[in-house]
């Protein structure tokens, strides 16, 4: 069991584990091992879209995630240029047991939809008010600096977020896509509750310095893209990538193009083989691989429909054995050689 992890028993079940909750960094936030990622539900009308998305399906996906016990949602102001936050608010309207809601700042957009980085305190204050309004809440559970851009302004930005926290508009503050040196700099201003980096078996750069730094400093880590934006779900094929809509950002991504596409699809077959022994799909194995690292608190998984959420829900409980974990790592090492 990881540090800060506690067992939650199902109703009337004194001995069987329903799922575990993990404490996020220095906070009182108790997270399920996976959370609902709301990037894709922003829709298709912006630069980093996943293609068209039906809002009703998005709301159904969120409701199914909550029904299955997922207790946190991660979104950002820039996802769909505000639309993702609005959809999250619609989904949570009238929900009796609200999940934690996390969002992000620092990526702004102009009237023509172009996105730029902004970390000036006045800009962040404006962004915060916009997110509070769209989400329909008075306080955001975790507010994260989305990108350290511009780098020279991260200390001033962190000071502003700490001020917003003291005002009661934010409960906890975190960062996303920061390196260890940048975290060292802002630590001098105020403590860091969490880091949100990309992490999967195909994106392991953070293992060298960033994850050890987070562990040493008690910073919680919620990783995004554990299935590499759908690549490791078991549903991706060369034909499906070729048929993606023009406004799906993945058509331009290196991992979705040759020569890496074929290599990645071979890896999925290994994950499929491991998963078959436990009656879980390759995506669940991919998420479990990231959760195996002791620095990872919880993983963000996206879902564009209730069915997609159901397919990945076993990642709440499924864990790889040490032998299975090493089997994947041996394959990755041999494939990279």
Q: Give tens-digit pLDDT for 280-317.
A: 999 999 999 999 999 999 999 999 999 999 999 999 99
User: Is the bond into 231 cis (omega within 30 degrees of 0)?
Assistant: no
In which domain, by residue range, is 298 found?
12-336
Contacts of 45 (CB under 8 A, 6+ apart): 80, 81, 83, 113, 247
Q: Are 287 and 321 spatial neighbours (Cβ–Cβ below 8 Å)?
A: no
Average pLDDT of the segment spanning 180-200: 98
Residue 40 in any domain: the answer is yes
d(CA 166, CA 319): 38
Residue 157 in any domain: the answer is yes
Q: Give tens-digit pLDDT for 221-265.
A: 999 999 887 788 877 777 777 887 887 878 777 777 777 777 888
Residue 1 in any domain: the answer is no
What is the reported pTM?
Answer: 0.90
pLDDT of residue 337: 61
Token pair, residue 27, equals: 């906070």
Phi and psi dihedrals of 104, rounded to 5?
Answer: -140, 160
Residue 146 in any domain: the answer is yes
Catalytic residue among 79, 143, 199, 224, which? Answer: 79
Read off the CATH number of the domain in which 136 is found: 3.20.20.100
Q: Is 224 a catalytic residue?
A: no
What is the count of structural domains for the chain?
Answer: 1
Residue 4 in any domain: the answer is no
Residue 274 in any domain: the answer is yes
- pLDDT greater than 50 at residue 13: no
Residue 7 in any domain: the answer is no
d(CA 108, CA 55): 22
pLDDT of residue 20: 87
Residue 5 in any domain: the answer is no
Angle at 81 between CA 140 and CA 230, to 5 degrees: 90
Q: Give tens-digit pLDDT for 103-161.
A: 999 999 999 999 999 999 999 999 999 999 999 999 999 999 999 999 999 999 999 99
């Amino acid at each position: 069991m990881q540090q800060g992890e506690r067992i939650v028993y199902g109703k009337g079940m004194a001995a069987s584990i329903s799922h575990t909750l993990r404490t996020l960094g220095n906070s009182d936030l108790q997270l399920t091992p996976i959370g609902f990622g709301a990037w894709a539900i922003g829709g298709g009308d912006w630069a980093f879209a996943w293609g068209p998305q039906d809002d009703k399906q998005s709301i159904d996906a969120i409701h199914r995630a909550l029904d299955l016990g997922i207790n946190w949602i991660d979104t950002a102001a820039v996802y769909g240029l505000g639309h993702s936050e609005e959809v999250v608010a619609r989904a949570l309207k009238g929900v009796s047991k609200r999940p934690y809601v996390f969002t992000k700042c620092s990526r702004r957009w102009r009237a023509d939809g172009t996105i730029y980085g902004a970390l000036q305190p006045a800009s962040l204050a404006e962004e915060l008010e916009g997110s509070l309004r769209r989400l329909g809440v008075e306080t955001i559970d975790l507010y994260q600096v989305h990108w350290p851009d511009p780098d020279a302004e991260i200390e001033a930005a962190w000071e502003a977020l700490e001020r917003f926290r003291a005002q009661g508009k934010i409960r906890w503050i975190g960062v996303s896509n920061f390196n260890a040196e940048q975290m060292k700099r802002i630590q001098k201003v105020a403590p860091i509750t969490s880091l949100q980096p990309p992490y999967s078996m195909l994106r392991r750069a953070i293992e060298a310095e960033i994850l050890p730094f987070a562990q040493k400093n008690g910073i919680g880590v919620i990783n995004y893209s554990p299935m590499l934006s759908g690549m490791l779900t078991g549903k991706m094929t060369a034909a499906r990538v070729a048929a993606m809509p023009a406004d799906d950002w993945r058509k331009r991504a290196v991992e979705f193009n040759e020569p890496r596409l074929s290599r990645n699809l071979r890896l999925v077959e290994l994950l499929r083989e491991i998963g078959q022994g436990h009656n879980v799909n390759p995506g669940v194995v991919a998420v479990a691989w990231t959760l195996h690292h002791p620095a990872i608190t919880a993983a963000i998984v996206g879902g564009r429909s209730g069915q997609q959420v159901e397919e990945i829900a076993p990642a709440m409980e499924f864990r790889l054995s040490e032998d299975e974990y090493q089997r994947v790592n041996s394959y990755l090492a041999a494939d990279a050689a």
